[in-house]
Chains A and B, each alone.
Chain A
């Protein structure tokens, strides 16, 4: 009886592994762009924001190590001109320089030369949020439509809201300051993580405009551009129970506390 069960389990395991291998072999090529050029003024530290450490490791390294498990063809880190230490730290990952801080759209644009000739999906991540759920990223990377990761945080304060159509696809992303009272009630927020086919990305970035108060190119505007082409982004929504992103030392400490708990659980063999 017992050996019968064991055999069944073995067969199931074998099947699951072969299915996974099949999926992997048909996988669309993946490139990852990590936006890391932010000065992190609110960190009140001369250290680039993404080089602040969590459990003793720079948060950019934590993110890169996680992303590597997705087996991307390349990882490109977008840096500011003076961030030599950061470029040294993330080597051998490819780095590009964003000459001026003209918004997230501009940051991704500066990575395009490094993506020249690449034909596959481009996963765009933020260097200041190392706690991205890998399983969702994996799904997004394997998805054959452009997508955005949406989060439902405890408090949506300060985050862009995700406005969807009746079918759950993305209509627009509205920054909090531009929200109507109705939109402000939306609890589904933009995580800042996108996965877009390289060809679409090229075209959509070229169509970005900086006709806003800040005179910046917002990556979030691609939602409208895509919708205009009838190629709406799919939304992968996850609830999260911590603050999203590290912008100041309090948020860094909150991330540290979460990671310490993870370390302790890990060491206790609970994960």
Chain B
């Protein structure tokens, strides 16, 4: 018996010039367009992958993932019921669900859409050219305008107008020498006991 290096569903459609690395699973309803590169250990079902995009390694495209052309979906990225516009990048460790993402968006490492309140699902809209920083939570329903920059670590709960910067986190504060003092205090207490 041969071991499968891929698993294809009977209706899997793959265009010419596609490169599929080992251990990729195709569930029902997958369409892969020309020039796509699917890297190892990706799990894909009910998704379209547009021309010249790259997916994986270790990516998961769930039903309703509509990935445009020239998109990069990197490792440990999960996409569900979302449209990803041409040229956008979701390079690592992200969850995108119930989202309409424009063109050339950068959805950074660890950013997620917060789409579920335990009862209902809500939509996130991200405009063209937006830069969503690392570890951002976009609490849906929310709209991020075109060209917006969302500062890393922000939790966004309201719409952002185009070309704005949005920061939603406590301000960083640095206290010089504080750590050293803290350590020496702790050490002296330990010696005395």
Contact = CB atoms under 8 A, between A and B. Distances in A.
Interface string B8-49: 111110101000000000011000000000000000000000
B116 interface: no
B6 interface: yes
Contacts of B8: 55, 260, 263-264, 267
Contact of B1 (A54, A62, A257, A264): A257
B14 A267 contact: yes
Contacts of B9: 55-57
Contacts of A263: 8, 10, 12
A254 B4 CA distance: 11
A56 B14 contact: no
A261 B8 CA distance: 9
Contacts of B170: none
Contacts of A254: 1
B2 to A, nearest CB: 5
Interface in A224-265: 253-254, 256-257, 259-261, 263-264
A254 B2 CA distance: 8
A170 B8 CA distance: 41
B120 to A, nearest CB: 30
Interface in A34-67: 54-57, 62
A269 B12 CA distance: 13
A260 B10 contact: no
A interface, over-half SS? helix
Contacts of B3: 257
B7 A260 contact: yes
Contact of A260 (B6, B14, B27, B28): B6
B6 A57 contact: no
A260 B27 CA distance: 13
Interface string B74-109: 000000000000000000000000000000000000
A261 B10 contact: no
Nearest to B45: A56
| Most interface-central of A256, A257, A259, A260 (chain B CB within 10 A) | A260
B4 A55 contact: no
A253 B1 contact: yes
A56 B1 contact: no
A72 to B, nearest CB: 22
A156 B5 CA distance: 30
Contacts of A62: 10
Given A253-B1, A254-B1, A257-B1, A264 B28 contact: no
Nearest to B4: A260
A243 B3 CA distance: 17
Nearest to A260: B4
Contacts of B27: 56
Interface of A: 54-57, 62, 253-254, 256-257, 259-261, 263-264, 267, 269
Top 7 closest A-B pairs, CB basis? A263-B8, A56-B9, A55-B10, A267-B14, A57-B10, A257-B2, A260-B4
16 contacts: A56-B9, A56-B28, A57-B9, A57-B10, A62-B10, A253-B1, A254-B1, A257-B1, A259-B10, A260-B2, A260-B6, A260-B7, A260-B8, A263-B8, A263-B10, A263-B12
Interface of B: 1-4, 6-12, 14, 16, 27-28
Given A257-B3, A263-B10, A263-B12, 9 more contacts: A55-B8, A253-B1, A254-B1, A257-B2, A257-B4, A260-B6, A260-B8, A267-B8, A267-B14
